[in-house]
Amino acid sequence: MASIKFKNVYLNDYKTIIGPMEKESHLKKADIVMNDYYLGEKTFEMAEVKMQKCVFDKVLKDNNLNISNIDLLVGSDLTNQIAISNYNAKEYNIPFLGLYSACAGFVQGLIVSSTYVDSGTFKRVVSVTSSHNLTAERQFRYPVEYGAPRPNTATFTSTVAVATLLSKKVGKIKVESATIGVVVDLGIKDANNLGAAMAPAAASTIASHFNELKRDYNYYDLVLTGDLGCVGKSILEDYLMQVYNIKLKKCLDAGCELYLDSQDTYSGGSGPACLPIVLFNKILLSKKYKKILIVATGALHSPTIINQKGSIPGIAHAISLEVL
Amino acid sequence: MASIKFKNVYLNDYKTIIGPMEKESHLKKADIVMNDYYLGEKTFEMAEVKMQKCVFDKVLKDNNLNISNIDLLVGSDLTNQIAISNYNAKEYNIPFLGLYSACAGFVQGLIVSSTYVDSGTFKRVVSVTSSHNLTAERQFRYPVEYGAPRPNTATFTSTVAVATLLSKKVGKIKVESATIGVVVDLGIKDANNLGAAMAPAAASTIASHFNELKRDYNYYDLVLTGDLGCVGKSILEDYLMQVYNIKLKKCLDAGCELYLDSQDTYSGGSGPACLPIVLFNKILLSKKYKKILIVATGALHSPTIINQKGSIPGIAHAISLEVL
């Protein structure tokens, strides 16, 4: 049983920051907009740290909270040693848990945070996640300066950060249940086709969620995955039907929903904060969906192991939100 | 309040594997002993994956459990993208949470696992952590083949893996309470002096633990830190006295307790599994201690940020064990 039902957890607030590409995208708004990739810092890494700090500080300010009102900070990002989250955490003298599940980090963070809130261990938990195109691309693929051409299966790491505030205080978004994913590896070795590496994990988690919670496939108004990209989304739909005989009522992928076609991002957007940015700054603004299952997918891609001719395992964590 | 009291969590079993250096060390026994650094695999990374698998499988076998009896696997290690833990997890079709806090990973894993057991979310949780000298050294410092000389402040990453089984089933070791650490950075930039980078974080967590739980400094028979090494341990003791006015009854550091002087590891052992291996295969065997506070310290060292002249933040997580 990988699924958890939460009794009493609410997502009280969220704040977002978006980069230069994202402000030209399908997103309808964001709390903070960056005009360049540096935010006044000397390196891309320090810019990403500042992105995390900006959204965390805005959560505090807009909710009239001091740092002492936050009991736990949960952080994740794509950089080695989750250096960005660690560097952000050192600005705040509060308990910190660092997680890593690549682009599934946002939902893994929500699951762990919700567990601590629901169990009554902590009153208020903030979960922060981020990605920055120029820190991620050079770490996972090629030095940015090479300008290496990308194939059509590749996604584009978004430059975004999101902070969420969770507590038992009743609000407009209830965190209802979750499913922790298993690691699935069907042998994909192409770091430019991560959608294919992650789609089977997404299917596995979606199937477990519906099965364990005994829910009809029409239960959710929307299943929002992220970030399979357009190539991965198509694989997911085939895989769900052929392996699990599941046809979802409505399924969108955050990677496909972020950028304009004219932005040439090929298969779409990616990064752990791509899913929440599309959820918060596009999907929820439409006010069309009440019950949403968000399924964050992570390609557990290790350049070291790829160089040793290993494959790319995938994982997907799901969380169900009810918009009241 | 960074501290948590657990109502009903027991560490039911633990299994260990040790490498060639460790079998010549102060350790009195281990469940599995490696004669070389490869374990029959082609790369050091795949050897470390196999080390995790060996200890997990032994926990299952010796407790007459099937994989379906384990509700959650929690994993951490030192490699980028925690690749080792991800690769191990893909061998088991069970929910997986990946964590990263460098050498504090063992205790962070125990804290998250204990939370899931204590809250009743999951019945049985296995937490696995590992390090391998030859995967870690080349990733964090220099290519192993360079044979780069090390200063006296350097520690030696141990080649060990540990799996622990947690549940509410009453056993000989009770997981009593925990303190989640804050990230502390006093500006150390030397990747060969991680003890100095971590000691202030250890002091902060120890002070919070005693203060928040209103415990006398003599409450524990032993405070076991790991892995500050001998240089870091001496800084910790000074720092505890000068900043917090704390003098502990008895304090040992796993990094100082692992290797023989003749093994030339300078400041001592390190790696996230060094602390548990010393705890399980040396300290507990002495049967001298009933109440033990284990304080795992992590140097949140990022080679990328070090190359940008950044510093090394530290973190320490603590958990209190009662040997019944």
pLDDT for the residue numbered A34: 97
Determine the average pLDDT of the residues in B57-73: 98
pLDDT band at B147 (very low <50, low <70, confident <90, very high): confident
- B191 vs A: CB within 8 A: no
pLDDT for the residue numbered B148: 83
- A2 vs B: CB within 8 A: yes
- A94 to B2: CB separation less than 8 angstroms, yes or no: yes
Q: 10 Å Cβ neighbour count for A282?
A: 18
Closest of B155, B170, B186 to residue B258, by C-alpha: B155
Helix (H) or strand (E) holding A321: strand A314-323
User: Residue holding tokens 């939370």?
Assistant: B115
pLDDT band at B143 (very low <50, low <70, confident <90, very high): confident
Q: How far apart, in whole angstroms, are the C-alpha atoms of residue B281 and residue B117?
A: 25
Closest of A244, A174, A235, A242 to residue A205, by C-alpha: A244
Mapping DSSP to helix (H, G, I), strand (E, B) and coil, where does residue A90 land?
coil
Sequence-ordered list of residues with C-beta below 8 angstroms from that of B264, at least 6 positions apart, any chain? none
Q: How far apart, in whole angstroms, are the C-alpha atoms of residue A72 and residue A83?
A: 18
Length of chain B equals 324
Q: How far apart, in whole angstroms, are the C-alpha atoms of residue B35 and residue A157?
A: 43
Residues of chain B positioned with their CB less than 8 A from the CB of A43: 308
From the CA of A127, how many Å to the nearest CA of chain B? 14
The complex scores an ipTM of 0.97
Closest of B115, B136, B140 to residue B125, by C-alpha: B115
How far, in Å, are A16, A44, A60, A158, B175 from residue A34 at the CA level? 11, 13, 20, 12, 46
Q: How far apart, in whole angstroms, are the C-alpha atoms of residue A108 and residue A228?
A: 17
pLDDT for the residue numbered A1: 82
pLDDT for the residue numbered B145: 84
Nearest residue in A to B88, CA atom: A183
Give the DSSP per-residue string, A280-316. Answer: IIIIGGGT--SEEEEEEEEE---HHHHHTT----EEE
Helix (H) or strand (E) holding A112: helix A105-118
Determine the average pLDDT of the residues in B305-315: 96
Q: How far apart, in whole angstroms, are the C-alpha atoms of residue A322 and residue A220?
A: 9
User: Residue holding tokens 């009239």?
Assistant: A64
Closest of B262, B258, B254, B261 to residue B233, by C-alpha: B254
Q: Which two tokens stand for residue B123?
A: 């019945």
H helices then E strands: how many in chain A? 9, 14
DSSP secondary structure letter of residue A182: P
Quote the crossing angle between the two packed helices B229-244 and B194-212, to the nearest 10°: 40
- A96 to B46: CB separation less than 8 angstroms, yes or no: no
- B302 to A81: CB separation less than 8 angstroms, yes or no: yes
Q: How far apart, in whole angstroms, are the C-alpha atoms of residue A8 and residue B59?
A: 35
- B112 vs A: CB within 8 A: yes
From the CA of B89, how many Å to the nearest CA of chain A? 6
pLDDT for the residue numbered B92: 96
Residues of chain A positioned with their CB less than 8 A from the CB of B101: 97-98
Mapping DSSP to helix (H, G, I), strand (E, B) and coil, where does residue A82 land?
helix
Q: How far apart, in whole angstroms, are the C-alpha atoms of residue B45 and residue B101?
A: 19
Give B 12-71 residues with CB within 8 A of chain A: 42-43, 45-46, 71
- The answer to whether the beta carbons of residues A140 and A77 sit under 8 Å apart is no
Closest of B104, B319, B100, B320 to residue B197, by C-alpha: B104
Residues of chain A positioned with their CB less than 8 A from the CB of B115: 115-116, 119, 121
Q: How far apart, in whole angstroms, are the C-alpha atoms of residue A315 and residue A71?
A: 28
Distance of CA B78 to the CA centre of its chain: 11
Tell the burial category of A212 from Cβ atoms under 10 Å away from its Cβ (0-12, 13-18, 19+).
middle
Q: Name the β-bridge partners of B223.
A: B251, B293
Q: How far apart, in whole angstroms, are the C-alpha atoms of residue A56 and residue B13?
A: 40
Tell the burial category of B212 from Cβ atoms under 10 Å away from its Cβ (0-12, 13-18, 19+).
middle
Q: How far apart, in whole angstroms, are the C-alpha atoms of residue B152 and residue B157?
A: 14
pLDDT for the residue numbered A199: 97
Share of chain B above pLDDT 90, in %: 93
Which of these ranges, A233-247, B92-106, B131-145, has the smallest mean pLDDT?
B131-145
**Per-residue pLDDT tens digits of chain A, which is 324 residues long:** 899 999 999 999 999 999 999 999 999 889 999 999 999 999 999 999 999 999 999 999 999 999 999 999 999 999 999 999 999 999 999 999 999 999 999 999 999 999 999 999 999 999 999 999 999 988 998 888 888 888 889 999 999 999 999 999 999 999 999 999 999 999 999 999 999 999 999 999 999 999 999 999 999 999 999 999 999 999 999 999 999 999 999 999 999 999 999 998 989 999 999 999 999 999 999 999 999 999 999 999 999 999 999 999 999 999 999 999
User: Residue holding tokens 């992105």?
Assistant: A51
Check pLDDT > 90 for residue B218. Answer: yes
Residues of chain B positioned with their CB less than 8 A from the CB of A102: 81
Q: Which two tokens stand for residue B323?
A: 């040997």
Sequence-ordered list of residues with C-beta below 8 angstroms from that of A138, at least 6 positions apart, any chain? A144
Residues of chain B positioned with their CB less than 8 A from the CB of A89: 182-183, 313, 315
Q: How far apart, in whole angstroms, are the C-alpha atoms of residue A100 and residue A81?
A: 9
Select the more confidently predicted residue: B82 or B143.
B82
